[in-house]
Amino acid sequence: MINVGIVGATGYGGVELVRLLLARDDVNLCKLSSVSFEGKKISEIYPMLYGICDDVLDTQDKVVDACDVVFAALPHGLSQTLAKECIEKGKIFIDLGADFRLEDEETYKKWYGCSFEDKALQDSAIYGLCELNRDKLRGARLIANPGCYPTSIALGLFPALKNKFCSTKGIIIDSKSGATGAGRGLTQTTHFTELNEGFAAYKVGSHRHTPEIEQTLSKMAGEDIAVTFVPHLLPINRGIESTIYADMNPEYTLLQIHDAYVDFYKNEKFVTVMPLGTAANVRNVRMTNQCQISLHEDKHTGRLIISSVIDNMVKGAAGQAIQNMNLALGLPEDRGLPILAPAF
Amino acid sequence: MINVGIVGATGYGGVELVRLLLARDDVNLCKLSSVSFEGKKISEIYPMLYGICDDVLDTQDKVVDACDVVFAALPHGLSQTLAKECIEKGKIFIDLGADFRLEDEETYKKWYGCSFEDKALQDSAIYGLCELNRDKLRGARLIANPGCYPTSIALGLFPALKNKFCSTKGIIIDSKSGATGAGRGLTQTTHFTELNEGFAAYKVGSHRHTPEIEQTLSKMAGEDIAVTFVPHLLPINRGIESTIYADMNPEYTLLQIHDAYVDFYKNEKFVTVMPLGTAANVRNVRMTNQCQISLHEDKHTGRLIISSVIDNMVKGAAGQAIQNMNLALGLPEDRGLPILAPAF
Amino acid sequence: MINVGIVGATGYGGVELVRLLLARDDVNLCKLSSVSFEGKKISEIYPMLYGICDDVLDTQDKVVDACDVVFAALPHGLSQTLAKECIEKGKIFIDLGADFRLEDEETYKKWYGCSFEDKALQDSAIYGLCELNRDKLRGARLIANPGCYPTSIALGLFPALKNKFCSTKGIIIDSKSGATGAGRGLTQTTHFTELNEGFAAYKVGSHRHTPEIEQTLSKMAGEDIAVTFVPHLLPINRGIESTIYADMNPEYTLLQIHDAYVDFYKNEKFVTVMPLGTAANVRNVRMTNQCQISLHEDKHTGRLIISSVIDNMVKGAAGQAIQNMNLALGLPEDRGLPILAPAF
Amino acid sequence: MINVGIVGATGYGGVELVRLLLARDDVNLCKLSSVSFEGKKISEIYPMLYGICDDVLDTQDKVVDACDVVFAALPHGLSQTLAKECIEKGKIFIDLGADFRLEDEETYKKWYGCSFEDKALQDSAIYGLCELNRDKLRGARLIANPGCYPTSIALGLFPALKNKFCSTKGIIIDSKSGATGAGRGLTQTTHFTELNEGFAAYKVGSHRHTPEIEQTLSKMAGEDIAVTFVPHLLPINRGIESTIYADMNPEYTLLQIHDAYVDFYKNEKFVTVMPLGTAANVRNVRMTNQCQISLHEDKHTGRLIISSVIDNMVKGAAGQAIQNMNLALGLPEDRGLPILAPAF
């Protein structure tokens, strides 16, 4: 049995971890913490857990003491100290936040306003995009779980960048996310009556995921990549769709590129390249750890258009974190991770 | 391995069976049929199945030949002949339609316009409300899976009727169902733009589930019960909420009734009585085989008010059908049936 | 020109008044107040007003000074003092809150926890259900605008109670409201991800509108009426549907009752009795001041079932308030009040 | 009084015309036609019209006979003959379809599969984007009402192209439309349960609006423009948001461009440039004839990003058609056209 704990269990990332981990018979979900609801049962906050998980929410310290694997789903900036403590105590630490995602401290400072507290610790963190860093993640102790937008985008572009199917210049990414991406905290923007029947871009050209996207794409391409990234908020609960525009390499046909994508991902359990002529839809990956990708071409302008969809709370957060745990512990990578979305 | 087939696999009940059965490692989902899409892959109709289940849809006959357990999700009236054939060939037949639910032929004729083709066969069918007929369902060969509305209502009222916590006269049931209840067939009523932001009652006092509701409640009470039943269509995908109004027996307090409900259902895996002071919500049972019940009292009019929620496609259709299969085969009743809803 | 002001203009009732009053060419919307946003432009809070109404939000006192008609959309309990001041200064005061709706002080204390500050002022208030109190509303100075649920219910039952088409005993009302009914204030219940795809009852048997409903129905029937009232929250923005169950008087047929309803409301601009065989739908009254009513019968239990729909923000709040202003000022009652809902 | 008729009145464009025209006191909506529902009352199809407009749907010929202005909301290809007849009979003909939008016959053939039946008639048609062709539209007899996507895009880019604020090369447009854009016809894609909680691109790089977009942008820029255009389907009823990406001219700052946009549109009643720092939202233009535009810059890639929103059924169809009628008849251009969206 793996003794697992969650710090920040009542946030959306946290409770999604609870849901997925409760389905495991090899995991002992032994301690949950929450600053806001300490002392309450988690089923008081989330009544679907009533009678299934009525654990009392405890402190962060208790989680660290009780568990061998610690997931942290905390506001940005709060994971660095906790990670250090966990690593020193021999725990595996998987951070769902952004504190260990960026390699460059200046970039981190610029976008998040914090410094690296421990440069060596930062250097030891593995960026948990399994499809990119699988080998390093096996046996890893400190894992930075990727952001939701970056996951959808990086998986959509990986084979194209690797094989130079498109130019690395001028990539434009238009992403749309369901409302769980904004978390459990109440805002006017996510008040039902103000999101329902609405749609808008937000943080245009200034979303914090931009440097993470560029860092990952640059690694994939082997050269520096700058992108234009614009997120939008969808009036649905779950799902990210990223439509990616890139100048297509005229040496290849769409069919060749599609074949190469299928081949590239043929051993990946959680990436599916959809048949040509269909378009990826967020509803087909809901509640699953899958990324589905569809490929398109605008012939008259010579553009490759990639649509990549994930469930932002599973492959974009809790599911990928568990995939990382499985890798870190040497377990089958897909254990406990759903791949089949409900049809409705 | 259990060889299972589905007749009518591309309807909503059918594809939900596919989803739930694919998760089982003791089930071989060996044959699917569809009149509308024979010869096509089911993943062409439901792209979330792409790469997971690409079975070609075959004929009803092939399903019968290949399988030991046959689920039928057919339009009303088409199951009787098929059931006869299956039973004669030694198969277990579980009907998600209404052809075997009603005991009285006149009632069946009046509401469905068909006759009983084989009275003995009709008599041999077990009504598959597990919480009511568990003993008869063990080893059963022909099972009539209950309707969605009747399931939510019967489970909500069972302890009250059994223990005379309320009058059997004057029961009123106001139910609301998500749009999957109307099925995959296209209608103006379920066209997105015409259901979204809308809400209305339908088939007021004339819904076909009325005689089934009354038949089950009468059995539970040990006397004839007539109810007023009004369904409404909700602009959501899944879920039924039934608000049930009954004159409360003044010999009991709400607290006593609640305690008795908790006790009555304490061994039921799929029925949860929520704490007093909370209201059952369809979102807390989505994608699960659970029924959640909350109890309320209107003191100044002396009414017991029961809110009962289920996922119409799981406990109200495919999930309960699998629960019935488990019972029929002597397997653990809850095998392969989810109980924890996603938080969002 | 009528000089009109709104106290509490940034709440949902207030901003709906702004929208409807801006369309009038005989109204000078001269002053808006807001405690929360004083000093800001209302178009900063509601960007649809940008370039159309960029008024700076001022204090309550400024509204009173500048206007001849004062609408108040305030939290319960805050209107009594303001009303007194307005009446003393010769203004017309229309209260969208509950402070002047109940005639009995004990009932008010029990449900709202406040006392009547000025009994004579309370006695002078006219309950603004135009279809019931039209004559008293002509020239009225202090008007208590009805609650949203009570409006839908009272209009649905008025002809039946007046003509004894149903028993006054045992009436049950199952209502469902869109999320604007909960207002602009942020709550977990109205957080997009927690209301979307959800549905539940709330305040079962204990909603504050219950005494108002009973007071109005009792007046209509000429005898004391007690009802069971259960509200539910719908995942839509606008609209209330009330399904009303009453024992039908066997001396009448549904056809006769329908004819009588049509006749009763034939001169009402804002009440439409729908044809037999159709069901009232909230979408057909969205953004309008209409109430649509459909009548049904459950023959086998002898029940009259009435479905009554309104837009909770228009006929249930701002629209009815303007209808009241029109009556108070001797203007055509329907001036500036939309009756045609968008088809989608 | 203007005698107006609608051919194809029961489609979504048609019924939106009905709604807007019924609000006019200078319009006599004298005849409506429908092939599908001839002989029925329009209020049987759209119950919100019950008691307000119970006109019986007639034939196309009757519309032509009875009216001076004919709006046609027909499937593509059916307007050419009708337009010829109307023009010959001295009527004003406003086509909501695509038959007269494209100037080049080869392009029309390629995208729509039909020929120009009467080249001179085609040449006489005025493209009804009022902000571009206002002078030609005054007194026009044959007007091609623009498509919904092209309207949102052309208005978003007009000042930029006119003033060379961005490059004319490499423009990418990522658009998202509500479900009314797909019309009243039933499809699996717009079945409630399959669109709700879903989101996907469609017709990637191959949507029929592409040549219309390019034709209009080319006119605005004074040079040939090719764009990449990808539409997506939103699970909302109304609204189009187009996010437009273009290389920004480094000679200008965003502030200068914003000032120029405000100035460019300062006399336009139906185009609003939103303040810098805010993002255009479809909810702020629902039910109105407005286009709202927000401007953004991605400094690190040098891109100008424009978000342009309209209500696809009003400014994108029926509202713009009425704006065109007003111009054709010499009436105030904004008569009868709403500009203020409901707040929720």
**Can you give D106-174 as a three-state secondary structure string?**
HHHHHHHCCCCCCHHHHHHCEECCHHHHHHHHCCCCEEECCCHHHHHHHHHHHHHHHCCCECCCCEEEE
**Statement: residue B173 has pLDDT above 90:** yes
Please provide the DSSP assignment of A178-215 as one string.
-GGGG-SS--STTBHHHHTT--EE-STTT-THHHHHHH
Q: How far apart are the first and last CA of chain C?
A: 34
Q: Place D15 in a pLDDT band, splitting at 50, 70 and 90.
A: very high
**Statement: residue B340 has pLDDT above 90:** yes
The pLDDT tens digits for D194-253 are 999 999 999 998 999 999 999 999 999 999 999 999 999 999 999 999 999 999 999 999
Q: What's residue A85's pLDDT?
A: 98
Same-domain status, A81 and A197: no
B271-273 and D142-144 strand pairing: unpaired
Q: Residue D71 in contact with residue D4, Cβ under 8 Å?
A: yes
Put simply, the answer to whether A272 touches B46 (Cβ < 8 Å) is no
Q: Is residue A259 part of a domain?
A: yes
CA distance B306 to C201: 10
Q: Residue B130 in contact with residue B323, Cβ under 8 Å?
A: yes
Chains interfacing with B (3 or more CB pairs < 8 Å)? A, C, D
Number of structural domains in chain C: 2
Mean pLDDT within A162-190: 97
Nearest CA in chain D to C183: D344
Q: What's residue D76's pLDDT?
A: 84
Hey, what are A214's tokens?
A: 């560029």
Q: Place A64 in a pLDDT band, splitting at 50, 70 and 90.
A: very high
Please provide the DSSP assignment of C86-121 as one string.
HHHTT-EEEE-SSTTT-S-HHHHHHHHS---S-HHH
User: If you average pLDDT over every residue of chain D, what do you get?
Assistant: 97
Contact of C204 with chain B, judged by CB distance below 8 Å, is answered with: yes
Q: Domain with A182 in it: what CATH number?
A: 3.30.360.10
Mean pLDDT within A89-101: 98
* DSSP designation for B297: E
The pLDDT tens digits for D187-202 are 999 999 999 999 999 9
Please report residues of A whose CB lies closer than 8 A to that of B186. Answer: none
By C-alpha distance, which of C58, C40, C60 is closest to C49? C40
Put simply, the answer to whether D342 touches C283 (Cβ < 8 Å) is no
Q: Is residue B116 part of a domain?
A: yes
Same-domain status, B112 and B219: no
CA distance A66 to A64: 6
**Statement: residue D303 has pLDDT above 90:** yes
Q: How far is B283 from chain C (nearest CA, A)?
A: 5
What percentage of residues in chain A have a pLDDT greater than 90? 99
Q: How far apart are the first and last CA of chain D?
A: 34
CA distance A52 to B230: 32
CA distance A34 to A30: 14
Find the helix or strand (DSSP H, E) in which B330 lies: none
Same-domain status, D85 and D160: no
Q: Choose, from C53, C130, C148, C166, the residue flagged as catalytic.
A: C148
Instruction: Tell me the C-alpha to C-alpha distance, in Å, between residue C290 and each of B319, C155, C269, C272.
Output: 43, 11, 8, 7
CA distance D316 to D213: 13
Contact of B234 with chain D, judged by CB distance below 8 Å, is answered with: no
CA distance A199 to D31: 36
Residue where the block lists tokens 């049904």: C296
Q: Residue A115 in contact with residue A105, Cβ under 8 Å?
A: yes
**Statement: residue C80 has pLDDT above 90:** yes
Please report residues of A whose CB lies closer than 8 A to that of D238. Answer: 197
Active site residue C130: no
In the sheet with D27-33, reading across from the earlier edge strand, the strands are: D27-33, D2-7, D69-72, D92-95, D142-144, D126-127
Give the contacts of C191 (CB within 8 A, at least 6 positions apart): A184, A186, A190, A191, A192
Put simply, the answer to whether A272 touches B339 (Cβ < 8 Å) is no
Reported ipTM: the value is: 0.97
In the sheet with A271-273, reading across from the earlier edge strand, the strands are: A200-201, A227-233, A171-177, A240-247, A303-310, A291-298, A271-273
CA distance A100 to A80: 8
Q: Is residue B273 part of a domain?
A: yes
Q: What's residue A75's pLDDT?
A: 87
Same-domain status, A232 and A275: yes
CA distance B75 to B61: 17
> How crowded is residue A56: how many other Cβ atoms within 10 Å of its Cβ?
15
Mean pLDDT within D264-286: 98
Please report residues of B whose CB lies closer than 8 A to that of D233. Answer: none
The pLDDT tens digits for D121-147 are 999 999 999 999 999 999 999 999 999
Mean pLDDT within B254-283: 98
Q: What's residue C146's pLDDT?
A: 98
> How crowded is residue C116: how many other Cβ atoms within 10 Å of its Cβ?
19
Hey, what are B289's tokens?
A: 């085989």
Q: Is residue A340 part of a domain?
A: no
Q: Which residue, of C89, C124, C159, is where some domain finishes?
A: C124
Q: Place B76 in a pLDDT band, splitting at 50, 70 and 90.
A: confident
Please report residues of C whose CB lies closer than 8 A to that of A187. Answer: 186
Find the helix or strand (DSSP H, E) in which D267 lies: none
Q: Which residue, of B124, B139, B165, is where some domain finishes?
A: B124
Same-domain status, B157 and B116: no
Q: Place C75 in a pLDDT band, splitting at 50, 70 and 90.
A: confident
- Chain CA centroid to CA D20, Å: 15
User: If you average pLDDT over every residue of chain B, what do you get?
Assistant: 97
Q: Is residue C141 part of a domain?
A: no
Nearest CA in chain B to C231: B243
> How crowded is residue C262: how many other Cβ atoms within 10 Å of its Cβ?
17
Same-domain status, D294 and D173: yes
Interface of A with D in 277-306 (CB under 8 A): 279-283, 286, 294, 296-301, 303, 305
Q: Is residue A338 part of a domain?
A: no
Q: What's residue D48's pLDDT?
A: 98
Q: How many CB pairs under 8 A join C and D?
A: 74
Find the helix or strand (DSSP H, E) in which A293 lies: strand A291-298
**Statement: residue B304 has pLDDT above 90:** yes
For residue B15, the SS3 value is: helix
User: If you average pLDDT over every residue of chain C, what do you get?
Assistant: 97
Please report residues of D whose CB lies closer than 8 A to that of B192. Answer: 179, 190-192, 195-196, 235, 237
Instruction: Tell me the C-alpha to C-alpha distance, in Å, between residue B163 and each of B131, B249, B257, B264.
Output: 16, 10, 9, 10
CA distance C69 to C246: 40
CA distance D332 to A95: 61
Q: What's residue C29's pLDDT?
A: 97
Q: Residue D142 in contact with residue D126, Cβ under 8 Å?
A: yes
Considering only the beta carbons, identify the residue of A51, A238, A287 that sits closest to B272. Answer: A51
By C-alpha distance, which of C152, C162, C164 is closest to C271? C152
Q: Place D23 in a pLDDT band, splitting at 50, 70 and 90.
A: very high
Q: Is the dihedral of CA B19, B20, B21, B24 positive or negative?
A: positive
Q: Domain with D35 in it: what CATH number?
A: 3.40.50.720
Instruction: Tell me the C-alpha to C-alpha distance, in Å, between residue D65 and each of D69, D81, D314.
Output: 10, 15, 27
Same-domain status, D85 and D172: no
In the sheet with B27-33, reading across from the earlier edge strand, the strands are: B27-33, B2-7, B69-72, B92-95, B142-144, B126-127
Same-domain status, D162 and D73: no
For testing contact with chain C, the best of A186, A189, A193 (most C CBs within 10 A): A193
Considering only the beta carbons, identify the residue of A193, A195, A236 that sits closest to C180. Answer: A193
Contact of C37 with chain A, judged by CB distance below 8 Å, is answered with: no
CA distance C239 to D24: 26
The pLDDT tens digits for C122-162 are 999 999 999 999 999 999 999 999 999 999 999 999 999 99
Q: Place B132 in a pLDDT band, splitting at 50, 70 and 90.
A: very high
Same-domain status, B35 and B171: no
Hey, what are C137's tokens?
A: 């509303």
Q: Is residue B65 part of a domain?
A: yes
CA distance D272 to A166: 37
The pLDDT tens digits for C206-232 are 999 999 999 999 999 999 999 999 999
Give the contacts of B256 (CB within 8 A, at least 6 positions apart): none
Give the contacts of D182 (CB within 8 A, at least 6 positions apart): D189, D190, D233
**Statement: residue C205 has pLDDT above 90:** no
Hey, what are B274's tokens?
A: 């929520």
In which region does residue A33 sit, left (phi positive, over 0), alpha (psi from -120 to 50) or beta (all else)? beta
Asked whether the whole model's pTM tops 0.90, one would answer yes
Residue where the block lists tokens 């764009």: D227
Give the contacts of C5 (CB within 8 A, at least 6 positions apart): C29, C30, C31, C32, C33, C63, C64, C66, C67, C69, C70, C71
Nearest CA in chain C to A187: C186
Q: What's residue A205's pLDDT?
A: 87
Catalytic residues of D, which ones?
A: 148
Instruction: Tell me the C-alpha to C-alpha distance, in Å, between residue B1 and each of B29, B30, B52, C122.
Output: 10, 11, 19, 76
Q: Is residue C323 part of a domain?
A: no
Same-domain status, C81 and C217: no
Same-domain status, A185 and A288: yes
CA distance D288 to D294: 17
Interface of C with B in 205-224 (CB under 8 A): 205
**Statement: residue A18 has pLDDT above 90:** yes
Mean pLDDT within A227-237: 98
Please report residues of A whose CB lies closer than 8 A to that of B12. Answer: 343-344
Q: Residue A96 in contact with residue A73, Cβ under 8 Å?
A: yes
> How crowded is residue D195: how many other Cβ atoms within 10 Å of its Cβ?
26
Please report residues of A whose CB lies closer than 8 A to that of D236. Answer: 196-199, 235
Domain that holds residue B188: 149-311
Put simply, the answer to whether B340 touches A275 (Cβ < 8 Å) is no
Same-domain status, C117 and C181: no
